[in-house]
Structure 1
Amino acid sequence: MVATDNGVSHMVYESPSLNKTMVYKHKFSCAPMSLEGQVAKLIDIASDEKNLAHMYIGWGPFI
């Protein structure tokens, strides 16, 4: 964990074998994405309404 000045902490994962690149590839590109690009893509996938519509009903919030 790394603490920042504004109190937010985040995980830093460094592996010599990964070299800070992930293996998610865009449909039209063969180059691996950077760590920042991978995080942005995962956030886009996780917040996509199509994916959220297929989510198990038990994982949803109850009002």
Structure 2
Amino acid sequence: MIRTMLAAAKEDLQLQELHLVCHNVNTKGMLLYSRLGFKPYEIVKRTSPHETFIAGIFMKIELT
């Protein structure tokens, strides 16, 4: 599904990069996005549904 989304985004000549947010508790997601070429660029403090603090890690990939 993610590869399909990336292919569709690359077809849009107006898009130069794609961004996402992955939470630090989603280790499998962060590793997958990293393997696909996404790079982290910002971290923000968030509150989970269980009222604990988690990190929202912003990631992006260049589409050119």
TM-score range, shorter chain: under 0.3
- TM-score, normalised to structure 2, is 0.20
Rg larger for? 1
Higher relative contact order (CA 8 A, sep 6+): 2
Q: Greater strand share, 1 or 2? A: 2
